[in-house]
Amino acid sequence: MPTVRPSGPGAVDVELDVNGIRTPLHVAPHTTLLDALREDVGLLGAKKVCDEGTCGACTLLVDGRAVYACMTLAVACAGRSVETVEGLARDGELHPVQEAFIAHDAFQCGFCTPGQIMSVVALLRATPSPSADEVMRAVSGNLCRCGAYPNIVEAALAAARKGKERP
């Protein structure tokens, strides 16, 4: 019996800016940004929960905008800036949103947390003083099965009040 091989074009070279670091990748064109980060770059913060754009656990920033990494192709991010939860803390100091998530107990199991945090970070950059309603809109695409929602909203508002969001 002849050997069967998966069809499709081969891997291509692409370079991303991941958390400020130039990151060359050699990936198949259909590779999602999520798979590229988790399997090729080794950044495991963004989680694969549904892999079809229905939960938000893989939310991260591309050119400052919150996107689902499972719905974004890695090759489409060539030359663009990708920010993940791993890139938020600076010099060992947590980002104000991260700090607020701990202070307000805005997670339980923590599996949705990187995505929730990235959604809030994107919101606060665009809207430094959001209303509770704006916070809810920003994280309405991020499911939390443990039900930490009230604390997530509190944490986001607290982080905004501290007003220390870095550009």
Q: Interface with another protein includes 153 (CB under 8 A)? A: yes
Which residue among 57, 66, 67, 123 contacts another protein (CB under 8 A)? 57
Burial 91-119 (b: 16+ CB within 10 A, else e): eeeebbbbbbbeebebbeeebbbbbbbbb
Q: Give the nearer residue to another protein in terms of CB position, either 54 or 79.
A: 54
The 77-106 contact track toward another protein, x by CB under 8 A, reads -------xxx-xx----x---xx-xxx-x-
Amino acid at 163: G
Which two tokens mark 68?
């689902």
Q: Interface with another protein includes 123 (CB under 8 A)? A: no
> What are 68's strand-pairing partners?
59
Closest CA to 116 of 93, 87, 148: 148
Binding residues for another protein, how many (CB under 8 A)?
56
What minimum distance in Å lies between the beta carbon of 99 and another protein?
8
Say how far apart CA 33 and CA 64 lie, in whole Å. 15
Q: Interface with another protein includes 43 (CB under 8 A)? A: yes
Q: Give the nearer residue to another protein in terms of CB position, either 49 or 78.
A: 49
Q: Interface with another protein includes 51 (CB under 8 A)? A: yes
Phi, psi values for residue 90, rounded to 5° = -120, 130
Which two tokens mark 22?
């130039």
Which residue among 12, 78, 136, 165 contacts another protein (CB under 8 A)? 136
User: Coil, strand or helix: which one is 77?
Assistant: helix
Say how far apart CA 61 and CA 18 lie, in whole Å. 10
Q: Give the nearer residue to another protein in terms of CB position, either 133 or 167.
A: 133
Q: Tell me, what DSSP letter sits at residue 58?
A: T
Binding site for another protein (CB under 8 A): 1-6, 42-52, 54-55, 57, 84-86, 88-89, 94, 98-99, 101-103, 105, 107-114, 117, 136, 139-140, 142-153
